[in-house]
RNA sequence: GCGCCUUUAGCUCAGCUGGUAGAGCAACUGACUCUUAAUCAGUGGGUCGCAGGUUCGAUCCCUGCAAGGCGCACCA
């Protein structure tokens, strides 16, 4: 059977058997480490001066053999460190055993530290042992793993071959931790609300559907957390947030993965003005603690996240970009403006006047918002869950935050008038085809909850993946998600199948 | 969804509008007791993404399919 294996796999299998023949367990149970590679580097002077023996474990990343001696690098989570083996140190038999090791194997070593004549901190190995035999080779040492498809499908190899990948994910964790910390400090309570919901809502999007056998019930994977978090506000949790996966059954591209991470928080007795102050503080704090600076280079632009961010009224921005005030423009007039500019008519899921406004805003306004800007006071047509503007009933107290032409957050004074909410839901349904899953459904249970009284509340949502992209300089959402959705790989074969 | 592009050894890539494939690294054999993209000498390794078509002959030209990337459009 082994004869039919690829030569490289075959050689590793042969070495595995040779090791077993020498009574070496290729998969032992544990290894006592005294140091990480980074600790050896950090404490080198002390370790060297006192001749202290250190024990490290890691993956073999390179081997340079020189007859009766060899150099190698092993990698642990502290980084790479060089090891030095001499036949007269470890003995002839052990030196021979090392030749049965391959790149990618995981080994443990014990020895003293020294500096080579070229200055590299190195462990002079007195003893070593195999901790895990690898049966497949690592990618090429110099170019690493370049193929993006393989990097996403086999992220474990990507992490081994391309160490900078891990830095992005460390930053990701730091970012979510900092947002948690920021909200916790201010008395917000982190909660978990249902992923499986009988009625989806909180935004316009097409959901995933599933089925609960026990109740013979159709359920949807959540598209947003909003309506459940607001129920909790009604229940008296005055500051509440959730960081969670949401699911939208829509297109995929470098900004969209079907499952993605949202932060949403709700703050009772506050309005959207309070919210903007809090948000700019949070973005500034997270950015400076992650990056060490409030300045981000994004393409040609240097973006400054120091508050306060600019506030720009929606229709003022539109007037500046379109060249005329369009607050009173009707659907037909908006259509003419678009046609005059050679713009295609909207295909978006939003209907009526809102669709044209949305299209004009995306095309003409958003790309210009490079420095952090709150676009404020949206038309009511676009915002079925936001409260009417206190000074103008055709607007809502809503803002979206734009940085580098991309939206990085959406907040508003929450609509808490149950009758208004009911009619907005109904307005959303009007003119839509029955069964259109993108329409915001009427959530009677939520309306029932609202009838009990939700305090004045401000709420905010943020796409965490996008925010991580902004702060890490990644241009694809797949670079900030360990295992982005991929079509199944039909050719993948386990080693068993390759043997058969 | 539409357009453009990619798919060749384990990895990174060459391959001339057609004559059944090359390099580096990795692997294997040998030399070498401070190397570091170690070096030197030698050896093996391929269903050229899949399926058809054109042709005496296809990695190359044509069609279809698959997976992926990049633009555009939509949402976060």
CA nearest A248: which of A279, A209, A207?
A: A207
Distance A149 CA to B55 C1' (A): 36
Burial of A137 (0-12, 13-18, 19+ CB in 10 A): middle
Distance A365 CA to B16 C1' (A): 50
Mean pLDDT of A121-126: 97
Per-residue pLDDT tens digits for A168-208: 999 999 999 999 999 999 999 999 999 999 999 998 888 99
Q: What Rg do the C-alpha atoms of chain A give, in angstroms?
A: 29
Please give the protein residue whose CA is closest to the C1' of the nucleotide B39: A66
User: What is the nearest nucleotide to A161, using C1' and CA?
Assistant: B11
Per-residue pLDDT tens digits for A6-28: 889 999 999 999 999 999 999 99
Distance A85 CA to B43 C1' (A): 27
Please give the protein residue whose CA is closest to the C1' of the nucleotide B25: A140
Predicted local confidence at residue A431, as pLDDT: 56
Predicted local confidence at residue A351, as pLDDT: 64
User: What is the nearest nucleotide to A478, using C1' and CA?
Assistant: B69
Task: Say what the ipTM of the complex is.
Answer: 0.90
Distance A72 CA to B39 C1' (A): 16
CA nearest A70: which of A99, A31, A49, A102?
A: A99
CA torsion, ordered A193, A195, A196, A200, to nearest 10 deg: 90
pLDDT tier at A432, thresholds 50, 70, 90: low
The helix, strand and coil proportions of chain A, stated in percent and rounded to the nearest 5, come to: 35, 25, 40
Per-residue pLDDT tens digits for A250-270: 888 888 999 999 999 999 999
Mean pLDDT of A46-67: 96
Distance A75 CA to B39 C1' (A): 24
Bases of chain B with protein Cβ within 7 A: 1, 10-13, 24-28, 31-39, 44-45, 49, 66-76
Distance A494 CA to B57 C1' (A): 37
Mean pLDDT of A406-435: 86
**pLDDT higher than threshold 70 for residue A405:** yes
Distance A147 CA to B29 C1' (A): 32
Portion of chain A with pLDDT greater than 70, in percent: 93
Per-residue pLDDT tens digits for A308-331: 999 999 999 999 988 889 899 888
Q: What is the DSSP string of A193-211?
A: --SEESS--SSS-PPPEEE
User: What is the nearest nucleotide to A223, using C1' and CA?
Assistant: B76
Residues paired with A121 in a beta bridge: A115
Residues paired with A122 in a beta bridge: A82, A114
User: What is the nearest nucleotide to A349, using C1' and CA?
Assistant: B74
User: What is the nearest nucleotide to A205, using C1' and CA?
Assistant: B75
Distance A497 CA to B25 C1' (A): 27
Predicted local confidence at residue A132, as pLDDT: 97
User: What is the nearest nucleotide to A142, using C1' and CA?
Assistant: B37
State both tokens at A216.
Answer: 């013979």
Domains of chain A, with CATH numbers? 2-137 (2.40.50.140), 164-479 (3.30.930.10)
State both tokens at A482.
Answer: 């360990």
The total of other beta-carbon atoms located within 10 Å of residue A229's CB is 24
DSSP count for chain A of H helices, then E strands? 17, 18
Per-residue pLDDT tens digits for A199-217: 999 988 889 999 999 999 9
CA nearest A437: which of A95, A206, A273?
A: A206
Predicted local confidence at residue A345, as pLDDT: 65
Q: Indicate the SS3 state at residue A363.
A: helix
Give me the count of residues in chain A. 500
């Amino acid at each position: 059977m082994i004869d039919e294996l690829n030569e490289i796999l075959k050689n590793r299998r042969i070495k595995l058997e040779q090791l077993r023949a020498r009574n070496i367990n290729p998969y032992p149970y544990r290894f006592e480490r005294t140091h990480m590679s980074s600790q050896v580097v950090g404490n080198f002077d002390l370790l060297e001066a006192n001749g202290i023996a250190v024990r490290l474990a890691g993956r073999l990343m390179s081997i340079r053999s020189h007859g009766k001696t060899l150099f190698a690098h092993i990698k642990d989570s502290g980084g790479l460190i060089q090891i030095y083996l001499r036949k007269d140190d470890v003995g002839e038999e052990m030196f021979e055993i090392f030749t049965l090791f391959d790149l990618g194997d995981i080994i443990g070593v014990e020895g003293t530290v020294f500096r080579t004549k070229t200055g590299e901190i190195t462990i002079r190995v007195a003893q070593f042992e195999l901790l895990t035999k690898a049966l497949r080779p690592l990618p090429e040492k110099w170019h690493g793993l370049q193929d993006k498809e393989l990097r996403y499908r086999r992220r474990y190899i990507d992490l081994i071959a391309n160490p900078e990948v891990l830095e992005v994910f460390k930053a990701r964790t730091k970012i979510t931790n900092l947002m948690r910390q920021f909200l916790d400090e201010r008395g917000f309570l982190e909660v978990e609300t249902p992923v499986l919901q009988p009625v989806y809502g909180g935004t316009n999007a097409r959901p995933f559907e599933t089925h609960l056998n026990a109740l013979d019930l159709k359920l949807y994977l959540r598209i947003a957390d909003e309506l459940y978090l607001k129920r909790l506000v009604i229940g008296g949790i005055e500051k509440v947030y959730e960081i969670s996966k949401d699911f939208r059954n829509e297109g995929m591209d470098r900004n969209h993965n079907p499952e993605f991470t949202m932060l949403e928080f709700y703050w009772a007795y506050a309005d959207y003005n309070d919210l903007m102050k809090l948000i700019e503080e949070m973005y500034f704090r997270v950015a400076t603690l992650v990056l060490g600076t409030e300045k981000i280079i994004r393409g040609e632009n240097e973006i400054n996240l120091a508050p306060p961010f600019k506030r720009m009224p929606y229709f003022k921005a539109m007037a500046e970009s379109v060249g005329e005030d369009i607050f009173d423009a009707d659907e037909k007039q908006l259509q003419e403006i678009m046609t005059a500019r050679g713009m295609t008519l909207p295909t978006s899921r939003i209907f009526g006047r809102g669709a044209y406004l949305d299209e004009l805003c995306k095309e003409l306004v958003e790309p210009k918002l490079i420095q952090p800007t709150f676009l404020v006071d949206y038309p009511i047509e676009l915002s079925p869950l936001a409260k009417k503007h206190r000074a103008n009933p055709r607007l809502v107290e809503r803002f979206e935050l734009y940085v580098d032409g991309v939206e990085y957050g959406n907040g508003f004074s929450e609509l808490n008038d149950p009758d208004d909410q009911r009619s907005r839901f109904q307005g959303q349904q009007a003119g839509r085809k029955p069964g259109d899953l993108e329409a915001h459904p009427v959530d009677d249970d939520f309306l029932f909850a609202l009838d009990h009284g939700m305090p004045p509340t401000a709420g905010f949502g943020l796409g965490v993946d996008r925010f991580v992209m902004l702060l890490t300089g990644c241009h694809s959402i797949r670079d900030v998600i360990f295992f982005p959705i991929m079509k199944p790989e039909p050719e993948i074969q386990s080693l068993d199948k390759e043997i058969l």
